[in-house]
Chain A
Amino acid sequence: MPKAPELAHFVETSTLLKPRPEEGAKDRTMVLNMGPQHPSTHGVLRLVIEIDGETILKVVPDIGYLHTGIEKTCEAKFYQQVVPMTDRIDYLCPMTNNLAYCLAVEKLLQLEIPDRAQWMRVLLNELTRLNSHLVWLGTHAMDIGALTVFLYCFREREEILRIFEHVSGQRMMTSYFRIGGLALEPPVDFFDRVRKFIKIMPEKIDEYENLLTGNPIFMNRLKGVGYLSAEDAISLGVTGPPLRASGVDWDLRRDMPYSSYEKFQFKVPVSTDGDVWARYLVRIQEMRESVKIVEQALEGMPEGRITADAPKVVLPDREKMKTQMESLIYHFKIVTEGFTVPAGQVYQAVESPRGEMGYYVVSDGTAKPYRVHMRNPSFATLQALQTMCAGRLIADVVAVIGSIDIVLGEIDR
């Protein structure tokens, strides 16, 4: 008879909970395994929860199910080949990841990016934020039990994805930003399409709010749940909307501006309540601010080049590559050998829909990055789960996970 396979790679659930409950307490508490296939864990998050009746004593996240070693893979690629890798980290905000990586390498190269490219990046980043927040709102409401909102949100998200496809050729993994600018000039009717979409967006947000804000069932599930104080949020590394919902007025777009965000007027919504409800309100207001930023970007979009004047880094125009010897040589060299980047190390952080997305790039002077490290907002925010859930009920865990808006792709990388 064949031997049963050894299941050594399955970690015994109780070993994750250290220290173990004392002898006397053993009968009272129970260990519950939630995930990795649970629908409300947004991917493959596994939570090992110790409960006393229905009250949560301890939550231990077990992550790594999606670990694909992207940081290691980046070290084996040319600088420009890393851009598509960055899409796959956080699949809800690909443009934000593209931007953070491109800005980091541009800082290493000390490139000057033309205004038009910078404004396009801002425009697309805010559309990405809307896209990500729409997915968050839909799934969060669905976790709570409000199914309708999901369909409404995905209706508008579909239009954003179509705009992305129109501009970059891809709906989700856009890879539209390049080191030194953008991949292509935006198509002719791109701005009209965005204008049309952004005009209807405010009333759509009103529509979602009609369904949720003021809905007593929704409010009762969220108010006072998952409280996180400002001190805890800072000491646990929480960033983005959860940090602002705890009363810390910090937004990288305003406080450490990048890609000409300093030229835009927008408010940073802050709440002092620190619960799931506050996070909901902060994100809803952020969507309204994003609409304003897109409007400003459409209005003041400068004319000019979309790539930096750096022939050794930026691929030449197709036309020039076919007709000029010089451009052909540069094209050939960039594609086959990459471009060298002066030695040094930089850290570039941007405000992603989930918080601070930072890229730490180390160069040793060759054409491949020596080390690329991503600082991911969800990874740090997950540490606050214990503080937010302790003493609450199991059903609240679902609300809290929805409110921190995790994406497992960026946690595990």
Chain B
Amino acid sequence: MLAALPENRALSSLLAWNADAVLDAIYDRRELTVTIASSQIRGACQTLKGAGYNFLEDVTCVDWYPSEPRFQVTYHILSHLLKERVRVLCPVESLDPGIDSITSIWPSANYYEREVWDLFGVRFHGHPDLRRIMMPEEWEGHPLRKDYPVEGYR
């Protein structure tokens, strides 16, 4: 399946680094999406950074409630040199959701990860300052989860 994809530096470097961590890769609508085992995200980001993908654009999350693994943490990483981007997905289980923080690799992940923690309740291990960012400090619940009503709790 992976062999059918076009030649890509991001994918080949990830496969050379740790082929077992690459769970899936698809090339859809001219965008490359690579699924990485969530325990390996830090290594994967380090590999991508070494391969020339120097700019972290975005970290966000999708809640696939009620299916498991429930959360999908999404990273968009851009290469200024190659002029292309790669999307990295990490499936995260719903029981005490958590994933390693990548702030040590890209300090810009700080706010994005705080936002994901605030709105989805996914913890980032090793984050220097994991506080809520949008909602008030004592807010209960995580509003962007699918089981949180759109109009809020009344």
Contacts and interface: CB of A to CB of B under 8 A. Distances in A.
Given A18-B129, A110-B29, A383-B110, A349 B57 contact: yes
Interface residues of B, number: 37
A362 B138 CA distance: 30
Contacts of A379: 111
Given A110-B29, A347-B85, A375 B144 contact: no
A107 interface: yes
Nearest to A15: B137
A32 interface: no
A237 B144 contact: no
Given A347-B31, A349-B57, A362-B62, A236 B80 contact: no
Contacts of B137: 9, 11
A370 B83 CA distance: 28
Contact of A75 (B106, B107, B150): B150
Interface string A220-251: 00000000000000111100000000001010
A31 to B, nearest CB: 17
Contacts of A413: 134
A255 interface: yes
Interface in A394-413: 412-413
A28 B57 CA distance: 39
A370 B55 CA distance: 26
Residue with the highest number of chain A CB atoms closer than 10 Å, among B58, B60, B107, B119: B58
Interface string B54-69: 1111101011000000
A64 B62 CA distance: 21
A72 B150 contact: yes
Given A235-B107, A236-B107, A64 B57 contact: no
B74 to A, nearest CB: 7
B138 A360 contact: no
Contact of A347 (B55, B58, B133): B58
Contact of B62 (A9, A67, A76, A371): A371
B51 to A, nearest CB: 15
A248 B76 contact: no
20 contacts: A11-B136, A63-B134, A69-B143, A72-B143, A107-B29, A108-B29, A236-B108, A237-B106, A237-B108, A250-B80, A255-B80, A344-B28, A344-B29, A347-B76, A358-B58, A360-B60, A371-B63, A382-B111, A383-B108, A383-B111
Interface of A: 8-9, 11, 18, 63-64, 67, 69, 71-73, 75-76, 107-108, 110, 234-237, 248, 250, 255-256, 344-347, 349, 356, 358, 360, 362, 370-371, 373, 375, 379-380, 382-383, 412-413
